[in-house]
Amino acid sequence: MDAVSRARDWIAQDPDPVTRDELQEIVDGAVAGDEAAAAELEARFAGRLQFGTAGLRGALGAGPLRMNRVLVGQAAAGFARFLRDRAPEGRTPVVVVGYDGRRNSDVFARDSAELFQGAGLEAILLPRLLPTPVLAFAVRFLGADAGVMVTASHNPPDDNGYKVYLGGDDQGAQIVAPADAEIAKRIREVADATPLGDLPRSGEYRIADESVLDAYVEATAAVAPAPSGAEGMRWTFTAMHGVGWETMRRVLERAGYPLPSLVTEQIEPDGAFPTVSFPNPEEPGAMDLSFRTAEESDAEFVIANDPDADRVAVAVPSHGGWRRLTGNEIGLLLGRRAARAAEGAPGASLACSLVSSPGLGAVAERYGLDWHETLTGFKWISRAPGMVFGFEEALGYLVNPETVRDKDGISAAVAVLGLAAEARERGATLVDLLDEMAEEIGHYASTQVSVRVDDVSRIATVMARLRADPPTAFAGHQVARCDDLLRASEGAPGGDVLRFRLSDGSRIIFRPSGTEPKLKVYLDVRGSSAEDAASVLAQLEGAVRQLLDETS
């Protein structure tokens, strides 16, 4: 079947007039001989968004390679089949659905709830747009078999996504293999055999009551009730046009922290993200309004959530401006906090992704805890045995694993507030805590080099060249070992990762992003002093940038 015929079949089952009209215009152009329209049509129908361990994520638009009501409906129906197939005989699977403030998130969530209910499941829709951690919490709190969160987290404004969690033995964690492939198979079966309009629907799904959010607020406030040092503490907060503030405010009031000065331009949910080109606190310029607000209110520090509030960023005053703490710095501070609380507990562990700072291993050793390195993503981190704290350098932190089995930017923010307030009691700051930790475990420094591409095949080309002809040194620092993690080993799952361990103990890791068209390179060093670590890091970063210029 040619692209025009496939497109007409797609239009016939699309309930959304916006994407129907969008695709019809492209079809009309292709039929009339417009080469650009014909190429666009071929590109739209060259495949379909693949369902994997990150669920679905992509740009909004018409066709199987975009996020839209047809694709989401097929995903919901396929996931329903998967849940029915794995449910014990006589049990009706329960699935809870949440959504954030992005364009069409509410529509995709309601479609999913109707299709789940129509397929014979018990569907529960969260009462309004809420953070991703609340959905992850709700899966366990409601005893659900699964959860779906409609969000693209910190992706560009035109994106949306579909994140899946499993209850039961998975304890509300994100899906991992082989469940992802099994779900994808059932989605494909639906897409190949049944038009969307023929799938059974029901509006009899349940709306969750406020007890879910009340319980989340109570549990999250208990992470770090405000100590006396919190009195009068001045800080600034931004929700980055996301859904975090309503829930964050309730947690702050319950825990006893002073409310922050708000970045008012970014505090209400807005799927257009009008003040940022990329709603990710890590991106240059994304926190500029936060810094301006902090200056005006004489804040001691800044805290930012990403749009679905599963990540947290922190910034502190520095040399007349503002310094964003790295994801690793925040992770090590929170890891040390957790290690101190768990010191001596049999089997307790700290966990982080393999691209996050190895300093967490030094923290674990210092306090007598186990340490686990996992593949990237909280689907792996959350499954580490005995974990009391887990993190990844991309601003993701799990500080309360008995409550939420995923990264949670609200509970992590409360933990940071607790650290800041306790330091404040003795006249110290978050920067002082970093210095104190360095005295305990050594001076770790890290950075990341990211290359964003228009054609993702370029990333595969670079990775192939690095495998075919691996570097033997970076800026004069010899490579002691190269680990290719493409294949699974020792029972651990594999990943498209190259890790270079250098003779001085530094490491450099190359990995394609799992959610964006980026090649990411992670650099970590441990020095005899902060200056020494920074110097080596700068040398290695320069060498990596030169290598990428030569190979891409």
Q: Do 87 and 116 touch, CB atoms closer than 8 A?
A: no
E strand segments, 378-432:
387-392, 396-398
CB-based burial, 327-342: b 16+ in 10 Å, e otherwise: bbbbbbbbbbbbbeeb
Structure tokens at 396: 């993701």
DSSP 8-state assignment for residue 187 = H
Q: Which residue has tokens 């639906």?
A: 190
Q: Which residue has tokens 């059932």?
A: 186
153 is catalytic: yes
On the 0-12 / 13-18 / 19+ scale of CB atoms within 10 A, 188 is middle
* CA separation for the pair 146, 80 (Å, rounded): 10
Q: Do 419 and 337 touch, CB atoms closer than 8 A?
A: yes
| CA geometry: angle 360, 365, 367, nearest 5 deg | 100
CB-based burial, 482-502: b 16+ in 10 Å, e otherwise: eeebeeeeeeeeebebbbbeb
Q: Do 382 and 406 touch, CB atoms closer than 8 A?
A: yes
CB-based burial, 386-400: b 16+ in 10 Å, e otherwise: bbbbbbbbbbbbbbb
Catalytic one among 112, 153, 356, 506? 153
SS3 269: coil
Structure tokens at 377: 């993503």
Structure tokens at 460: 């595969």
Q: Which residue has tokens 């002809």?
A: 469
E strand segments, 386-484:
387-392, 396-398, 443-452, 473-474, 477-484
User: Catalytic positions, please?
Assistant: 153
